[in-house]
């Protein structure tokens, strides 16, 4: 079982801060701001006790899939800087086979400042991450029997996704897509819908992303949106749980109420857990339960500080 993940390579920096910390630096609490690396440097220098690791949605999914005891690969673009080297080493430490392209642009950075009430104030400097050359990803990445997992943020270059999907199909791989963001889903709505209808065995999205694609809420439109789609459509609903549809059959799974330490990467963890069961041929009900259990584990640690042994024990307990 192998998951070949492709997406933005970002160096994650997560720090637990006081209520007024973001505003003291000029950022609104709960906001997401895109900036240059140079603008982030004084913020990063001021962060207390930051947790650092390789991140980005696809890298997070690869980390969790590998932690569950399966083979995982990741393709992305980093910079030729110290941060890029740290990204490379961190992925290797988790046993992930990396196919990293190197740019003269700096490695992308994702910085989350988490207030005591759980509010996330996020700063993102994409750097080299969006410039992955899909044609230059080595053929070894596209291994028969593997599943391609695509971070939807790559839709800023739809041609890149189309090339990746074509190469994966030619290798006999399954296709999994995480829509990744409501804004990019709205901008590239027609592209995503066509991709889902023609190529994806599994599609993951949250409620906001679903609404961006379906123009309606999950309860009202899930069955209608999924009609005629050959693959499985999964909607992650945070504290409500998750729901999926396959061939007209709707399956739901609730979650236990747990106070989250950090929700960074929770959706990516869910997708990795779901796919580990789905690729093994488990029922949709078990896929949802395993996705929820893995996400539950992820939100109880800072960033993606996954305890592999603990995660596997939790996964083994899912019936």
User: Could you report the per-residue pLDDT of 94-110, keeping only the tens digit for each?
Assistant: 999 999 999 999 999 99
pLDDT tier, 238 (very low <50, low <70, confident <90, very high otherwise): confident
Task: Give the pLDDT of residue 267.
Answer: 92
- State the average pLDDT for the chain: 92
Task: Give the pLDDT of residue 306.
Answer: 81
pLDDT tier, 304 (very low <50, low <70, confident <90, very high otherwise): confident
Residue-wise pLDDT tens digits, 113-134: 999 988 999 999 999 999 999 9
Task: Give the pLDDT of residue 25.
Answer: 86
User: 58 near 7, Cβ under 8 Å?
Assistant: yes
pLDDT at 92 over 80: yes
Task: Give the pLDDT of residue 198.
Answer: 95
pLDDT at 258 over 80: no
Model-level pTM greater than 0.85? yes
User: 68 near 96, Cβ under 8 Å?
Assistant: no
* Of the candidate ranges 56-65, 277-286, 307-316, the one whose mean pLDDT is the lowest: 307-316
Task: Give the pLDDT of residue 313.
Answer: 86
* Of the candidate ranges 16-25, 38-47, 252-261, 286-295, the one whose mean pLDDT is the lowest: 252-261
Task: Give the pLDDT of residue 317.
Answer: 81
Catalogue all structural domains in the chain, each as residue range(s) with its CATH number: 2-8+55-106+128-316 (3.40.1190.20)
User: 132 near 76, Cβ under 8 Å?
Assistant: yes
> What is d(CA 162, CA 279) in angstroms, rounded to the nearest whole number?
23
The three-state (H, E, C) secondary structure of 19-61, written as one string: CCHHHHCCCCCCCEEECCHHHHHHHHHHCCCCEEEEECHHHHH
Task: Give the pLDDT of residue 263.
Answer: 82
> What is d(CA 72, CA 98) in angstroms, rounded to the nearest whole number?
9
Residue-wise pLDDT tens digits, 43-84: 888 898 899 999 999 999 999 999 999 999 999 999 999 999
Task: Give the pLDDT of residue 297.
Answer: 86
pLDDT at 319 over 80: no
> What is d(CA 317, CA 295) in angstroms, rounded to the nearest whole number?
14
pLDDT tier, 5 (very low <50, low <70, confident <90, very high otherwise): very high
Name residue 251's beta-bridge partners: 244
pLDDT tier, 187 (very low <50, low <70, confident <90, very high otherwise): very high
pLDDT at 242 over 90: yes
């Amino acid at each position: 079982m192998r998951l070949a993940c492709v997406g933005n390579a970002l160096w994650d920096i997560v720090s637990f801060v006081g209520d007024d910390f973001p505003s003291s630096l000029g950022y609104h609490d709960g906001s997401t701001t895109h900036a240059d690396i140079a603008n982030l440097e004084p913020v990063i220098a001021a962060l207390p006790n930051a947790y650092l690791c390789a991140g980005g949605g696809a890298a997070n999914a690869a980390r969790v899939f590998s932690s569950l005891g399966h083979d995982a690969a990741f393709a992305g673009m980093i910079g030729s800087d110290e941060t890029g080297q740290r990204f490379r080493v961190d992925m290797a430490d988790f046993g992930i086979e990396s196919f990293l392209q190197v740019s003269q642009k700096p490695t992308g950075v994702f910085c989350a400042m988490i207030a005591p009430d759980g509010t996330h104030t996020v700063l993102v400097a994409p750097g080299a991450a969006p410039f992955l050359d899909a044609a230059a990803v080595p053929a070894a990445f596209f291994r028969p029997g593997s599943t391609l997992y695509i971070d939807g943020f790559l839709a800023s270059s739809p041609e890149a996704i189309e090339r990746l999907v074509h190469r994966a199909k030619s290798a006999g791989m399954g296709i999994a897509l995480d829509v990744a963001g409501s804004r990019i889903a709205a901008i590239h709505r027609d592209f995503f819908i066509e991709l889902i209808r023609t190529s994806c065995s599994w599609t993951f999205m949250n409620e906001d992303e679903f609404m961006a694609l379906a123009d309606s809420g999950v309860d009202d439109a899930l069955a209608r949106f999924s009609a005629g789609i050959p693959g499985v459509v999964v909607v992650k609903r945070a504290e409500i749980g998750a729901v999926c549809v396959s061939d007209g059959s709707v399956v739901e799974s609730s979650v236990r109420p747990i106070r989250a330490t950090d929700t960074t990467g929770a959706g990516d963890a869910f997708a990795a857990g779901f796919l580990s069961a789905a690729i093994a041929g488990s029922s949709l009900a078990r896929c949802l339960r395993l996705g929820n259990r893995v996400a539950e584990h992820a939100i109880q640690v800072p960033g993606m500080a996954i305890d592999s042994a603990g995660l596997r024990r939790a996964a083994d307990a899912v019936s």
